[in-house]
Amino acid sequence: MSLWHHKKITDVLSELKTTPSGISDAEASARLEKYGPNKIKDARKTTALQIFLNQFKSPIVWILIAAFVISLVLKEMVDSGVIGAIIVLNAVLGFVQEFRAEKAIDALKKLLSLKAKVLRNKEEMEIPAEQIVPGDILLLETGDKISADARLTESINLETQEASLTGESTPVAKEIGVLGAHISIADQSNMVFSSTIITRGRAKAVVVETGMGTQIGRIASLIQQTPQSQTTLQKHLASLGKFLGIVVVIIAVITFLVGISTGKDAYTMFFAAIALAVAAIPEGLPAVVTVALALGVQKMAKSNALVRSLPAVETLGACTVICTDKTGTLTHNEMTVTQLYVNGSFVAVSGSGYDANGDFGGNSEHFKRLMEIGALNNNSKLRKENNEWKVFGDPTEAALLVSAKKAGISIEDLQKKFKRISEMEFTSERKRMTTIHEHAGKKIALTKGAAEVVLSLCDRINVNGKIERLTKQRKEEILSATEKMAGRALRVLAFAYKDDPSGNLEETMVFVGLQGMIDSPREEAREAIEKCKSAGIKVIMITGDHLLTAKAVGKMLGISGKAVTGVELDHLSSLSDNVEDISIYARVNPEHKLKIIDALKQKGHIVAMTGDGVNDAPALKKADLGIAMGIAGTDVAKEASAMVLADDNFASIVNAVEEGRRIFDNIKKFVEYLLSSNMGEVLTVFTGILIGMPLPVTALQILWINLVTDGAPALALGVEPAEPDIMKRKPRMISERIVNKKRTISIFVIGIIMMLGTLGIFHWASFDNLAYAQTMAFTTLMMFQMANVVNQRSETSSIFKIRFFSNKLLLLAIGISIALQFAVVYVPFLQNLFGTVALSAMDWVYSVITSLSVIVVSEFLKFVWK
């Protein structure tokens, strides 16, 4: 990309082969053919069919499909029907959640669906923004959204709002001079950029880049080029699926070969191998994980955190770093007067944003004149729409209106009382604005501007209503106060007046005071950052604003650590060597944000990125979890993110962190529950065959347990309340697996207890008949799993310390599972289908007492782990 900001206007016009009067229609048509329309090009989209087929990439699903095909070949229609149903259910749930996940480029296109005023054929005309070409002369005025990147050729008091692109919180004053070559986008004051807005003044500009060549187009390219990596949950489940697949094949082959070698019928042994395969596979796991995540999403939505990608839920619970934009995320994106200097002393002003709730650290009557000048020497308006304050004009002037309201001043009455009759407007050269008002037949001149400039116009000072001489010492005191306020990152304006002005209006004026303002931090953001610290999560501020401002806001929010600029970042030999020490990045470009996230990932961090602007989109997609602002956020940011905060409240992230941790805790609980239960089934069948027993439970009975009686309790574990210490733990290590060594031992121990108890019951009952013995084993195995699910409610706490009714859904699920087992045992149709017989009351007693042994063993294991 050419350094347009570094070139003279004549050179820019010459290079683009255009004139200050623009180009002709014929030339515009030729250039449109050459450069293409001024719009964002579509990336190759993922079709609905591709999204659906992606649901079948899990190894666990492959195993289910294999079992489904084998069941069909063997004409086991019930088995194949149930397995097929679970495959389809899982695919549909995943498809519905992911169908709308890739729309970032469509959102970028919306930003360019505008009209633009240009000079063509030496005449002013309005054309669709898509038809703008390099060399066109744009005509810009207050309120316009800019449609292409352009170099200013004429500028009259021009200011633009570039927060959505650069992160700059205040309007940027523009000029037409030549700038240095290597400066950031935020400092290119002789350029205007696509998607930004004119807040003041008017200008002419020659278009230098359109479509994908603009800054917003470069961001679109970054989004297209940024691959979305798998979440840790997806990786762990894939690894688990591959492991289970290997185990299934080994167990099935060994069982078949052992049976054949001992003289058993090959057909019988093939079915036994299938039974073992069914026992080893947690058929319900994909669906249970999906539904558990979906239920978590619903709960998070009630807390204003809208999740767009299911597996991303647990990622937030694992994050070690939250990279957050400043403007509009940690702050209100609303300038607020927070300090005055008047009558020789500082006065604090409370409140934030454009809400007039707030007061002063002193009697406002003593400095009412200062507030009145700020309200009268003002071209902005504040209006409340849908319970939100809207600014029409400069945000800095809007802040002055709010401070006046806090002093009890009625803006409307004041402006009627002091009718404006003339104005000397602000310019970058004058650095001040003066308005002349008339009241009761007398005139008064009011001035605001840079402190050193306004002071140079004054020879007197108003101190508590008395007019005194403005001495050199007092001027030095005022300038010292200005420096102190600027050191707190406040934007400082000075105010003065002159009664009965004549001759030069801006001479021999009376100095009144200073007002200092800042885009103030959100109170709830400060509290949220403290909670993040207690949860072991580092908060990093990444902003396009000035370093001094970023450091001041960071200090107010409690963000500690080194602060660097984007330019300094470019000169670091290795960011990854320094990234752990840096907490604030200022004056950054979109490319810097990607560089920061890459460096953090290299250090093993799970990175969440919050943002609301176009400039945030690539980083939102690159991060492990992108979090966009729902109210202030652009469509681009929302579509590139995995989660959207509906209330733009940083504090909502803390609730989402807790929910993410709770969900992952519960995923570990029901994975251990399903695997330990399946281990019990595998060991029961495998050991029974090895020691020469008949098949203790049939393949269909195992499928019934896995998909029907297991499913509801496993799902209910997914809504288990959070453990009391969940937000006092450090984030889990990225290398932590769902099934770690401790959990593996627990799975095997519980499986062995289930096997011993079930085979013991089967052996005891086999003296009568096989159907009765299989029914007893079937029922005992199912009751073992009901006891096992109670064990899993807490990984460390005894079940006797958990509030019994805190998860009513789990109790209901256990009740339903037992009721379904009753149906299988006593309903004639189901008896014929599953090969069961009716059991006596004492049979149930034996099964229940045997199954409770798993609770005793599990309690012992928890004691040992502690």
DSSP H/E element including 307: strand 305-307
Q: How far is 848 from 797, CA to CA, in rounded Å?
A: 23
Instruction: Identify which of 61, 85, 81 has the alpha carbon closest to the alpha carbon of residue 71.
Output: 81
Q: Of the candidates 853, 801, 843, which has an alpha carbon nearest to the alpha carbon of residue 822?
A: 843
Cα 790 to Cα 465: distance, rounded to the nearest angstrom = 76
Hey, which residues does 626 pair with through a beta bridge? 609
For residue 117, with 0-12 CB atoms within 10 Å meaning exposed, 13-18 middle and 19 or more buried, which class applies?
A: middle
Question: What is the token pair recorded at 295?
Answer: 């239920």
Burial of residue 453 (CB within 10 Å: 0-12, 13-18, 19+) is middle
Q: How far apart are CA 723 and CA 794, in angstroms?
A: 8
Q: Which of 603, 601, 91 is nearest to 315 (CA)?
A: 601
Which of 524, 526, 594, 534 lies closest to 323 in space, CA to CA? 594
Residues 6+ apart with CB under 8 A from 623: 323, 597, 607, 608, 609
Cα 295 to Cα 135, 236, 846: the distances in Å are: 54, 21, 37
φ, ψ of residue 748 in degrees (nearest 5): -70, -40
DSSP 799: G
- Number of Cβ atoms within 10 Å of the Cβ of 407: 21
H helix or E strand, kind and range, residue 48: helix 48-54
Residue 573: both structure tokens together: 């030999």
- Cβ neighbour number for residue 722 with a 10 Å cutoff: 14
Annotated catalytic sites, by residue? 325
Q: Is 272 exposed, middle or buried (0-12, 13-18, 19+ CB in 10 A)?
A: buried
463 membership: H or E segment, kind and range: strand 458-463
CB 177 within 8 A of CB 190: yes
Q: Which token pair is 838?
A: 């009716």
Indicate left, alpha or beta for 536 from its phi (over 0: left) and psi (-120 to 50: alpha).
left
Stated length of the chain: 866
Residues 6 or more apart in contact with residue 54 via CB below 8 angstroms:
94, 98
Half-sphere exposure of 790 (CA within 13 A, CB side): 24
Question: Could you tell me whether strands 197-209 and 149-161 are parallel, antiparallel, or unpaired per DSSP bridges?
Answer: antiparallel
